[in-house]
Amino acid sequence: MVSATVKTDVIDADAHVVETERVWDYLDGADDKYRPTLMASPDNPQRQVWVLDGENLGNKFPSPDEKQSAEHVKKFGREVNTPVEARELTDVALRLAHMDRLGIDIQVLYNSLWITPLTGRPEVETALSWAWNRWLADVWKLGENRLRWTCVVAALTPKEAVAQIRFAKEHGAVGVCMRPFERERMVTDPFYYPIFDEAERLDLPITVHLANGNPQLFKLLTNDAGGGFSTFRVPTVTACYALIMSEIPRLFAKLRWGFIEVSSQWVPWVIHEAVRRSIGSAQPIARDCLRQFNIFVSTQSDDDFAYVVSYAGEDNLVIGTDYGHGDTSSELNVIARFKAMENLGSEAKRKILSDNPRRLYGI
C-alpha cells in the first residue's frame, strides 16, 4: 500500500509589517484629525518619526538597504534584506512570492510602530489601533490566507479593545498583541482582564511581543551599554515571569500566551527562579509550567536548544524570521538554517516549525 505524502506547512511565527502613510487612510472619517505625519528625527535626520500635534508617537521602523544587508550577512551570517513593497505590504503578491523563496507557507504578522511608547491619549490610541487593524484585515483578504496577523488593541481602554478583538477575529487575526508594559501597568495587571476574557472566549492567544510601552522605563533603560537588550528584552522576560507567578493562568485556564522575539535562552533561568521562589507556597510552580500554563516562546537559530528543551520541552517553542526588520533578531534564512541543525531531531524540528505555532495561533 502506498501512503500519501502529507505536506507539513512551515509557519513563520514572527514576521512584521512596516507602517507607511497608507495605514492612516483607514482612519474613520471622524478620526482623520488623528492622522500622524512623518518628520525627520531631530536626533538622526536619516530616520523618520511619526508626529501628531507635536507628540512623538515613535519611529518609522528603519529597514536596512542592500549595502547594509550585505554587511549584515557578512558579519553575522543572517539575511535581512526584504523588498520595500513586501515589508510595507504595498505589494502583497511580492510578499507571498518572497515567502515561497524562503520556504515559508504562512506568516504571522506583527506591527512595528507599537514596539515603543505610542501615546497616552486614549482617543488617539483607539483611532490608530482601529486603522491598523482595518489595514491588516484587507491584507489578509489579499493574502490567500497565508498572511495571518495579531491585532493591536486600545490598551488604555479595555472596553474598546474588546470590540477590536472581535473585529480582528472575524478578519483573519490569530492573536492579540500586547506589550509587557503599557504606561504604568504591567501586562499582568487585572485592568486587562476584560481583554484576556474576550481573547479566551474567541480562542485567540495573547502574544507579548518584544516591546516597552512605559515612557519612563523606556527612557531609563535606553542607553549605549544596554541597547535593545535592556530596553525591550528585559521587560518582556520580566512579564513572562510575572505571568507564571500570577493567578492569571488559573483564572484563564484555556488562554494561550506567546512571548515573541526575545530568543529562548532565558527560559531555564525564569523557570528555575519560579520553581525555587514558589516552594512552600499555596500554588508551587512546576518545572513544566510552560506546558501547564499554555505559554509558548519564540526561539532563534543560535539558541542552546538542548538546554532550553530540558526546561521548556519541545511542545512550547516556535521560531520566526522577524521579516522586515534588520536587528539582532532578524534572520530571513532561519528556516533553512534551522532545518540543517544537527543537534535537534526531525520530530522536534517539525513541532517548532509547524505543530507548535499551529497550536499557539489556532491555525
Which residues are within 8 A (CB) of 19 and not within 5 positions of it... i.e. 6 or more apart?
50, 60, 61, 88, 111, 112, 113, 132
- Cβ–Cβ < 8 Å for 231, 218: yes
pLDDT greater at residue 229 or residue 361? 361
Question: Is a pLDDT exceeding 90 seen at residue 187?
Answer: yes
pLDDT computed for residue 24 by the predictor? 97
Question: Is a pLDDT exceeding 90 seen at residue 72?
Answer: no
SS3 6: coil
Structure confidence by residue, pLDDT tens digits, 196-208: 999 999 999 999 9
**245-258: average pLDDT:** 97
pLDDT computed for residue 1 by the predictor? 40
pLDDT band at 7 (very low <50, low <70, confident <90, very high): low
| Cα angle 6-346-102, degrees, rounded to a multiple of 5 | 70
Closest CA to 324 of 9, 97, 40, 61: 61
Which residues are within 8 A (CB) of 216 and not within 5 positions of it... i.e. 6 or more apart?
none
Grid coordinates in use for 73? 550577512
pLDDT computed for residue 61 by the predictor? 79
pLDDT computed for residue 66 by the predictor? 72
pLDDT greater at residue 344 or residue 193? 193
Residues facing 147 on adjacent strands: 107
Spatial separation of the C-alpha atoms in residues 275 and 173, rounded to whole Å: 34
Structure confidence by residue, pLDDT tens digits, 261-272: 999 999 999 999
**187-194: average pLDDT:** 98
Structure confidence by residue, pLDDT tens digits, 121-168: 999 999 999 999 999 999 999 999 999 999 999 999 999 999 999 999
**22-41: average pLDDT:** 95
Question: Is a pLDDT exceeding 80 seen at residue 188?
Answer: yes
DSSP E strands: which ranges in the chain? 11-16, 37-40, 48-52, 55-59, 106-110, 147-151, 173-178, 181-182, 185-186, 206-209, 257-260, 295-299, 317-319
pLDDT greater at residue 12 or residue 44? 12
Structure confidence by residue, pLDDT tens digits, 95-113: 999 999 999 999 999 999 9
Question: Is a pLDDT exceeding 90 seen at residue 46?
Answer: no
Question: Is a pLDDT exceeding 50 seen at residue 244?
Answer: yes
Provide DSSP, 30-47: GGGGG--EEEE-SS-TTS
pLDDT band at 330 (very low <50, low <70, confident <90, very high): confident
